[in-house]
Chains A and B, each alone.
Chain A
């Protein structure tokens, strides 16, 4: 039973659309996090002195701390963006697809 359903969904163009759109979106966000995170770690590893400097003359805010705090907030905002789109647009598409596959079963 399941296998038949999976087969029907797989051939539904909406499945390809879902997989491609969501996959691209998830990997783009993941790439942003990985690049920023390991990019930041490269600075920690190879240019630590820079991170210790203040962001501006007379300010007490160090570059590293400020950047990192922005990263904390930014990474969390990315999770918010992903959850909103996945729980809305992508889940709606999934629900439609499952319904269509079930209808196909009733028709026969």
Chain B
């Protein structure tokens, strides 16, 4: 039955893609890119085939949320890297390196430095205490109903904002790369995501991530190698030439305007580092491996891949300064230094075209599309788990729901989130969504991370403290972003921002920690006493992994 529905969807999806191309008007979009479409169709067919296989192995809740814990450390490392390297990483950071130079590299280190911290302080306790979602850990010895609800709400806030950012980016990107209509692109992404996750659960989502991570690494590396040969693989030659032509000149490789103000720089560093440690779809990946050993290996591989790839795309951006930036073919009207065709985010694509022709351009475009699909699939699964595992099974049904019921609810939740993503993706098309990823990281850093780390490390955390800390961090992060320039001025059109900084983490994180501390310390209820006593057993399990859920197959 499932197989038949899948085949039908696959056929519809492919047929829709194939016919959508020629019908769109070419004025606002690139010409239909057949190389890219064919390569993307190969990717989609392969992943749908995997989904069909995964669907036959997805029966229990453990299969659905965590692939039965049967993913190896290396596979999971690739999948985590896949989750973490979105299309925004490939396109946005290359573009940033191209236009701002060194600032992009500073961002990359901030994106990277969270990983060692996650490994040293969190990975093994996460794996030893959690089962399906990180709320399993925060509510381990605290009140199930209220603490889980809080953790699920802040997870969903992160997931929805991140999803909107990805969907809008996807629509605009696909319009440019494939010459497809924005709305069609949004529907394709939304529907494929629903198929992967609803039928194939974590097994399919993981394999989509793994394939995509390999394609992304291959595409990026190949483009860089081809580009770098033009400079004889000499960094000195590349930099000498790039500084000679770039508008920043000798300041190309110095910190620039983006981090001019110290508070913004530190707040950004905090937000990216600890936001990573609070992203629900990343945290969920720690439960897909069999034990803490594999969880540690996952981070080792993931951070190696992410670090390598950041260095690749930074160099890609620098190569593009000369190869793209000096070539009239890539500028509107052929004016070098004018507006890039397709906008700033097209730097990586133009570079691929310049060094590898239409084949490489098509390949990289297909990879970018695949990247978006994989990231939204991971997000949708994390969101669905918050709804079905945390809210439905644990809070509403108080653990009395059968596996079958829970899996069914999670499938409906995926469909619901998919439809929501499509609707919001279309609604936000014309809006400036630059703030949304920042908001997602802000809430992750200020609401998810503090409560999670305290619940694992601080004996004294009580239900009251967790609730105040979690809601306090979540609400303050949202308000700081709302009142900052990126929303208050750029989106809502007010004259001046109420909150002077664009990055909320430096302010919202202390609010969460302080509230959690004060409200726990002043909590003298009998429940709080029992919760503090329960820490001892939790502590032994966190340290040894004894009693942790193992691999089911």
Contacts and interface: CB of A to CB of B under 8 A. Distances in A.
B11 interface: no
B525 to A, nearest CB: 23
A29 B239 CA distance: 34
A38 B269 contact: yes
A10 B304 CA distance: 35
Interface residues of A, number: 52
Contact of A37 (B262, B273, B293): B273
A61 B540 contact: no
Q: How large is the interface on B (under 10, 10 to 19, 20 to 34, 35 or more residues)?
A: 35 or more
Identify whether the interface residues of A are mostly helix, strand, loop, or mixed.
helix
Contact of B265 (A2, A27, A41, A87): A41
Given A41-B266, A80-B300, A6 B540 contact: yes
A105 interface: no
Interface stretch (B108-116, B180-188, B282-290, B471-479): B108-116
Q: Which of A18, A79, A82 has the most CB of B within 10 A?
A: A79
Q: Which of B265, B304, B310 has the most CB of A within 10 A?
A: B265
A37 B260 CA distance: 17
Given A79-B300, A98-B544, A37 B269 contact: yes
B299 interface: yes
A79 B303 CA distance: 8
B207 interface: no
B458 interface: no
Interface string A60-102: 1110110011011101101110110011000100100110010
B341 interface: no
A104 interface: no
B307 A5 contact: no
Interface string A20-60: 00100011011001100110110011101101100000011
Q: Which of B113, B239, B547 has the most CB of A within 10 A?
A: B113
B265 A79 contact: no
B42 interface: no
Given A68-B106, A79-B116, A38 B266 contact: yes
B543 A65 contact: no
A91 B265 contact: no
Contacts of B547: 2, 5-6
Given A46-B262, A75-B116, A98-B546, A62 B537 contact: no
Interface string B295-309: 011011001100100
A54 to B, nearest CB: 9
A30 B121 contact: yes
B240 A52 contact: no
B235 A9 contact: no
Nearest to A9: B540
Contacts of B40: none
Interface string B111-141: 0110111011100100000000000000000
A75 B302 CA distance: 13
A90 to B, nearest CB: 9
Given A37-B269, A45-B265, A64 B253 contact: yes
B255 A10 contact: no
A16 B253 CA distance: 49
A26 B303 contact: no
Contact of A10 (B109, B113, B540): B540
B115 A79 contact: yes
B310 A52 contact: no
Contacts of B98: none
Nearest to A8: B540
Contacts of A38: 266, 269
A76 B266 contact: no
B541 interface: yes
A68 B105 contact: yes
Contact of A79 (B109, B299, B544): B299
A60 B121 contact: no
Contacts of A64: 102, 105-106, 253-255
Nearest to A88: B293
B25 interface: no
B119 A18 contact: no
23 contacts: A2-B547, A6-B536, A9-B546, A18-B543, A41-B269, A44-B106, A44-B259, A44-B265, A48-B260, A51-B102, A60-B239, A61-B236, A62-B102, A64-B254, A64-B255, A69-B311, A72-B307, A76-B307, A79-B115, A82-B296, A86-B292, A94-B544, A94-B545
Interface of B: 102, 105-106, 109-110, 112-113, 115-117, 119-121, 124, 235-236, 239-240, 250-251, 253-256, 259-262, 265-266, 269, 273, 292-293, 296-297, 299-300, 303-304, 307, 310-311, 536-537, 540-541, 543-547
The 9 closest A-B pairs by CB, nearest first: A52-B254, A45-B262, A48-B255, A62-B253, A6-B540, A60-B236, A45-B265, A30-B120, A26-B120
